[in-house]
Amino acid sequence: MANKKLTLALFSGSVDKLTAAGVILGGAAAEDMDVDIFVLLQAAFAFKKENALTNDRVAELTDNKDEFLASLKRLDTPHWTQAFRTAKEMTNVNIHICGFAGKVWNGYKLDDFIDLADDICGIGEYISSAETADVNLFI
């Protein structure tokens, strides 16, 4: 029997949502799901090499940003990039950078992004993946 498939459209580039995506990825990996992640607009900014490890933008909890970041540290929460890396080691995870989103942030080639990214593609790839997914999420 084939593995179930999760398609994740990752729009947000904020650490709160990237951390949440990492938790979801961990669950999908534990279930041995195949995962396609499509890195869209703001998320493409976070996936740029110069931004990934220094990005501490928090979208939902702006008034509680410092408390949120302190809690992540207190709980010894792995950085979202590590959560993504761990999931890729556990199951079939492919991370696709949207070509348009990359260009918005001056990312024209795969080497402009962190090593977790597998390719650069068009939005049609996301639509095709979403059509065949058992679970499709937009974060």
Triad 102, 103, 106: Cα angle to 5°: 95
Cβ–Cβ under 8 Å, residues 98 and 44: yes
Indicate the SS3 state at residue 92: coil
All structural domains of the chain with their residue ranges: 5-138
- Under CATH, what is the fold of the domain 5-138? Hypothetical Protein Ychn; Chain: A, (3.40.1260)
Task: For residue range 119-135, list pLDDT tens digits in order.
Answer: 999 999 999 999 999 99
pLDDT-based confidence at residue 55 (cuts at 50, 70, 90)? low
**pTM across the whole model:** 0.92
